[in-house]
Amino acid sequence: MATKYISHTPDANGVIDYSPEENHIWQRLYERQVTNMPGRACDAYMQGLDALNMSKDSIPQLGDIDKVLLEATGWKTAAVPALIPFGRFFELLANKEFPVATFIRSEEEFDYLQEPDIFHEIFGHCPLLTNPAFAHFSHMYGKLGLAATKEERIFLARLYWFTIEFGLVQGKGEPLNIYGGGILSSPGETLYALSDDPERKPFDLLEVLRTPYRIDIMQPIYYVIESVDYLDEIANMDIMAYVAKAQELGLLPAKFAPKVKAS
């Protein structure tokens, strides 16, 4: 996928000088989305958001985020271009470095952006990297992906998609909440994911690995774990054996229409 965005390069002190226009977009995104979080985002996310104490008025500097993550779970961020290869992505996660594209969406794509920008990465994902189970799962995922074949990585991508990006959580007798960063950074999907419109199913690793998805639509199906701590249990499963089984069985029928190619 091509990108029109160009990431900023930090200076010798690791600082990025964002423009007033870029900071204003961050401020508007933050103000709009933070009001959606209470009662919808999971407790672990809300605790992480408080711990990061990120700027509301300007794009946070990665060094400030790193100080909190390093103390909490040993993670830090890594400034990257808008798009990076799969191999580099897995390498960073395996080293407990979370890739952050250092650009922010344009006014034209304020409501919806297919590729991850700094708001998606910092606001959507970094709060949960303060959580030990989420951090451990992300680290394990990186190590698995680094050792996987190209074909295996395609199946592993679905595990990341339906957990880290678009996962839901609901304990017994508790309300349905969000932990996926793709939802948490999207005002529209935050409301949609908890509505009556999509299908929701209990997390099943083999089924998740066989479920097709599209990046350019609201998700027709979400998988629900019982707690963020359950990510530790997934991390301890023989995930690559499940990948082999998923490859053998093939994909499940898609729950969405195929994407229409531009003529």
Domain boundaries, the chain: 20-249
Q: Which of 8, 97, 139, 185 is catalytic?
A: 185
Q: Which two tokens stand for residue 12?
A: 């010798």
Mean pLDDT of 237-248: 98
- Tens-digit pLDDT profile for residues 194-209: 999 999 999 999 999 9
121 known ligand binder: no
174 known ligand binder: no
pTM: 0.94
Q: For tokens 């900071």, name the residue.
A: 23
- Whether the pLDDT of residue 42 is over 60: the answer is yes
pLDDT at 53 (0 to 100): 97
pLDDT at 4 (0 to 100): 84
State the burial class of residue 198 (Cβ atoms within 10 Å of its Cβ: 0-12, 13-18, 19+). Answer: middle
Band (pLDDT 50/70/90 cuts) for residue 261 is low
- Whether the pLDDT of residue 1 is over 60: the answer is no
Q: For tokens 């451990």, name the residue.
A: 136
DSSP 76: E
pLDDT at 108 (0 to 100): 85
Band (pLDDT 50/70/90 cuts) for residue 262 is low
125 tagged catalytic: yes
139 known ligand binder: no
Q: Which of 125, 138, 139, 186 is catalytic?
A: 125
* pLDDT, averaged across the chain: 94
Please tell me the total number of residues recorded for the chain in this structure: 263
pLDDT at 248 (0 to 100): 98
- DSSP H or E run through 201: strand 199-202
Contacts of 75 (CB under 8 A, 6+ apart): 69, 96, 97, 98, 129, 135, 138
DSSP string computed for 12-58? TTS-----HHHHHHHHHHHHHHHTT-TTTB-HHHHHHHHHH---SSS
The CATH number of the structural domain formed by 20-249 is 1.10.800.10
Q: For tokens 């990061």, name the residue.
A: 52
- Tens-digit pLDDT profile for residues 135-166: 999 999 999 999 999 999 999 999 999 999 99
State the burial class of residue 100 (Cβ atoms within 10 Å of its Cβ: 0-12, 13-18, 19+). Answer: buried
120 tagged catalytic: yes
pLDDT at 40 (0 to 100): 97
Q: For tokens 């794509």, name the residue.
A: 109
pLDDT at 114 (0 to 100): 78
Please state, in angstroms and rounded to a whole number, the distance separating the CA atoms of residues 190 and 170: 15
DSSP 109: G
Q: Which of 7, 165, 189, 227 is catalytic?
A: 165
The strand pair at 97-101 and 168-169 is best described as unpaired
Mean pLDDT of 34-51: 97
Mean pLDDT of 218-241: 97
138 tagged catalytic: no
- Note whether 220 and 65 are within 8 A (CB): no
- How many other C-beta atoms can be found within 10 angstroms of the C-beta atom of residue 85? 8
Q: Which two tokens stand for residue 176?
A: 């349905």
Q: Which residue has the higher pLDDT, 83 or 190?
A: 190
